[in-house]
Amino acid sequence: MSGVPLLPERRRWLQAAGAAGLLGLAGCASTPNTAMPALRRAQVLVVGGGWGGATAARHLKLLSDGQAQVTLVEPDAALVSCPQSNLVLAGHRTLADLTLGYEGLERLGVRRVRDRVAALDLARREAVLASGGRLRWDRLILSPGVELMRERVDGLSAAHAAGRVLQAWKAGPETLALRAQLEALPDGGVFVLTIPLAPFRCPPGPYERACLVADYFKRVKPRSKVLVFDANPEPVSKAALFKRVWATQYAGIVEYRPSFNAVAVSADGREVEFELGERERGDVLNVLPDMRAGDIAARSGLARANGRWCEVDFLDFSAEDAPGAGVHVLGDAVLAAPLMPKSAHMANAHAKVAAAAVVASLSGWEPNPAPVLTNTCYSWVDGAHAIHVASVHGYSAAQRTYLVLPGASGVSTGVSEREASYAMGWLKGMRQDAGEG
Amino acid sequence: MGGAAPVLAQTGPSDGEALLRQRALAASCAACHGTEGRAPAGSAMPSLAGRPAPWIVEQMSAFQSGAREATVMHQIARGYSPAQIEQLAAYFAALKP
């Protein structure tokens, strides 16, 4: 596709460089690159230290052989993985198991600024920090994640603020708070999970959560129930696999009801109301509202697609709503291409294509005309078994988007322990690839 | 795809540019197989760094055809063209394990 053959001299050079443990553009003495000083001078600012931002920072360093000056702005002290955080709800993992620091990135020379970006001055190419400082960029990689639109469900903001109805859709303290609610739930109690219309962060996540809460109930509170109300007509990911698991492993525990869109929660946080007026009571409600791109994207005028998502040029992830400002947006905040999930792995893939495009641009080169994105999402159905969905997305120049390549997608044939071991390997790889070490 | 080589030799990207693209392509394997093809300790996924190029090409081809049984890789492998697989194989083979 990209059709770049390895020339014999580079093959030799690669071997030599590989043997020396020093594979680098700078070592490529046969092709002096006059654009390199621009790459060394440029300030590359990464805003948001989730999977997308951390992976971008790591690969800006890797793909520039350490030459790019990279600053990462993130208010949190560490990255807490959303993937596998449903295992915390079931008691199979702690948050500490899923937490990675930014020290690895700092060792690679990434400057870390622990602050929040309050505004983006697109004209001056400056990020205004909550603390008042400003950071200039030549290239900005914005990985803002998602915001939960609690305002779209009547009473949800108040119920959330009071700690009664949680989402726990960003791993962290709220994950532990929801775990505590499940622990306090009596045997025979009801857990009600509502799912918004797609697209939302982590398409299989709610269905995995239904499985893992059921796994906890089955072991500890066998008379309890998991009621799933889905605004979609069918699970939006791995539908057949999840339905089979609910019908077999969790028969009598999980009830799945499609096409129920939650519109309100009661003041006591015990009752949810749906679009057509039906009501359901539960001991613990977990109401997931619609989602949109993170606030900083919206406030900067970058999230104009349906008023929710950031439109990008998929060749280099440059923001369509900030032409000429050197802004790239990636991760869940992006208006997705067909069948492109809002997943950690996809954010990792975006990050590497964007990082390569930034390094190319600062080197005076064109972006790769044929970038490739891969995705594998593992879902756990209990503490020891997992399933997956995988896909490879190739850039279509004709349609200016990514399309799933023919034959290059699929799901598990069934639930397996083997896939659980791969899911653990995947998280290790993701952590390393985000610069942990 | 090999037939495109003479054209690219005249009008294609510089060596540094081509290497960047090759590295970025190889980075698409990294979330599972580790950054620069070095899987983290204890991972169930194999490292790719330092594997002989013909072995990588052979495995990808076996995943594509279904000759090698897999959970995920038969789906992923079908997303890569023969030319891309050759680039991946050459890249990982040249890395220290």
Q: Hey, is the C-beta of B29 within 8 angstroms of any chain A C-beta?
A: yes
Distance CA A209, CA A193 (A): 9
Q: Is the Cβ of B53 closer than 8 Å to some Cβ of chain A?
A: no
CA nearest neighbour of A253 among A381, A164, A166:
A381
Residue B47 CA: distances (Å) to CA of A97, A261, B96: 23, 45, 11
The CB density around residue A31, as the number of other CB atoms within 10 Å, is 15
CATH code matching the domain that covers A24-147+292-367, chosen among 3.40.50.880, 3.50.50.60, 1.20.910.10, 3.90.70.10: 3.50.50.60
Judging contacts by C-beta atoms under 8 Å, the chain A residues touching residue B1 are 1, 3
**A352 inside 8 A of chain B by CB:** yes
| Closest alpha carbon to A100 in A342, A422, A428 | A428
> Does the pLDDT value for residue A186 go beyond 70?
yes
User: Would you report the helix, strand and coil content of chain B in percent, each value rounded to 5?
Assistant: 60, 0, 40
Tell me phi and psi for residue A249, to 5 degrees: -60, -35
- pLDDT of A234 above 90: yes
Model pTM score: 0.92
Distance CA(A409)–CA(B75), nearest Å, equals 5
| Token pair for A389 | 């969905």
Is pLDDT of A173 > 70? yes
Distance from CA of A350 to the nearest CA of B (A): 10
Chain A interface includes B75 (CB < 8 A): yes
pLDDT score recorded for residue A30: 41
3-state SS class at A146: strand
Geometric angle at alpha carbon A432, from B41 and B20, rounded to 5°: 120
Domains A24-147+292-367 and A150-289 share a fold: yes
> For residues B3 and A279, which has the higher predicted lDDT (pLDDT)?
A279
Contact yes or no for A64/A41 (Cβ under 8 A):
no
Say if CB A357 and CB A378 are below 8 A apart. Answer: no
> Taking CA atoms, what residue in B is nearest to A60?
B24
- The tens digit of pLDDT for each residue in A131-158 reads 999 999 999 999 999 999 999 999 999 9
Given a contact cutoff of 8 angstroms between Cβ atoms, the answer to whether B28 and B22 are in contact is no
Q: What angle do CA A266, A271, A272 make, to 5 degrees?
A: 90
What is A150-289's CATH superfamily?
FAD/NAD(P)-binding domain (3.50.50.60)
Using pLDDT thresholds of 50, 70 and 90, give the confidence band for residue A34: low
Average pLDDT score over residue span A229-247 = 98
Distance from CA of B11 to the nearest CA of A (A): 11
Side-chain-side CA neighbours of residue A428 (13 Å): 19
Distance from CA of B67 to the nearest CA of A (A): 15
CB neighbours (10 Å) of residue A278? 11
pLDDT tens per residue, range A36-62: 689 999 999 999 999 999 999 999 999
Average pLDDT, chain A: 93
Q: Which residue of B has its CA nearest to A32?
A: B16
* DSSP type of residue A97: G
**A33-37, A85-89, A186-190, A239-243: segment of lowest average pLDDT:** A33-37
The predicted structure's pLDDT at residue A16: 41
Domain edges within chain A: 24-147+292-367, 150-289
The tokens for A106 are 């700092």
Integer Cα distance of A315 and A189 in angstroms: 50
CA–CA dist A179, B64 (Å, integer): 42
Q: Are A376 and B76 in contact (CB under 8 A)?
A: yes
Element (H, E) at B54: helix B53-65
Q: DSSP per residue over A4-15, as a string?
A: ----HHHHHHHH
Q: How close B51 gets to chain A, by Cα (Å)?
A: 12
- Beta-carbon separation of A4 and B44 below 8 A: no
pLDDT in tens, A295-324: 999 999 999 999 999 999 999 999 999 999
Contact B13 A391 (CB under 8 A): no
Interface test with B, best of A28, A31, A39, A432 (most B CBs within 10 A): A432
- Cα A25 to Cα A10, A289, A359, A433: the distances in Å are 11, 46, 11, 20
Q: Which residues contact A244 (CB under 8 A, 6 or more apart)?
A: none
> What's chain A's length in residues?
437
- At A106, which helix (H) or strand (E)? helix A103-107
Residue linked to tokens 């398409």: A203
pLDDT value of residue A312:
98
Residues A100-110 have a mean pLDDT of 98
Confidence of residue B14 (pLDDT cuts 50, 70, 90): confident
The CATH code of domain B14-93 reads: 1.10.760.10
